[in-house]
């Protein structure tokens, strides 16, 4: 069977009992993604970096597809968690990159007054595969050489 799109366990997480994302209902767009390990997300202080929550996952897809990472709708109100980048964008060529094998993570800020603990196996967000379009004059030829945040380097 030809692989079109899906999730795999990233290198280094093979023995960590990572669950592949699933959709919980027939008409859900998003695949529920779990935390790969317990993580503390500290209360926000000016100037701090977001906390990266590991998933232990990588995603493969077609040339004209992207994986978008969204927050759970309940996270801001219940846990005070917001995504630092609003929406995570995982490109096809992120898969298997030499820096981190394509391991994608969720970047959170915690807007509550107290630290929040995320437990391994807890659903932290949703992943949605989507098609994208190119402009008439597109001529991108670059090749990804690194992992997280490397596109503009």
pLDDT exceeding 70 applies to what percent of the chain? 94
Name the β-bridge partners of 65.
131
Residue 143: band (very low, low, confident or very high) from pLDDT cuts 50, 70, 90:
confident
Q: How far apart are the C-alpha atoms of 12 and 38, rounded to whole Å? A: 16
For residue 119, what is the DSSP state? P
Are residues 21 and 33 in contact, defined by beta-carbon separation less than 8 angstroms? yes
| Domain boundaries defined on the chain | 6-131
pTM here is 0.91
Q: List the CATH code of the domain at 6-131.
A: 2.70.40.10
Asked if the model's pLDDT at residue 149 lies above 90, the reply is no
């Amino acid at each position: 069977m030809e692989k079109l799109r899906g999730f795999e366990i990233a290198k280094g997480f093979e023995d960590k009992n990572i669950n592949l994302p699933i959709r919980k209902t027939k008409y859900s767009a998003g695949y529920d993604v779990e935390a790969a390990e317990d993580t503390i997300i500290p209360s926000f202080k000016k100037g701090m970096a977001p906390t990266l929550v590991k998933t232990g996952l990588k995603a493969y897809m077609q040339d004209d597809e992207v994986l978008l990472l969204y927050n759970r709708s309940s996270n801001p109100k219940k846990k005070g968690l917001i995504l630092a980048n609003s929406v995570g964008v995982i490109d096809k060529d992120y898969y298997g990159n030499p820096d981190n094998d394509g391991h994608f993570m969720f970047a959170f800020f915690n807007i509550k007054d107290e630290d929040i603990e995320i437990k391994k196996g807890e659903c932290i967000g949703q992943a949605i595969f989507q098609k994208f379009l190119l402009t008439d004059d597109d001529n991108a030829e670059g090749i990804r050489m690194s992992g997280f945040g490397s596109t503009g380097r």
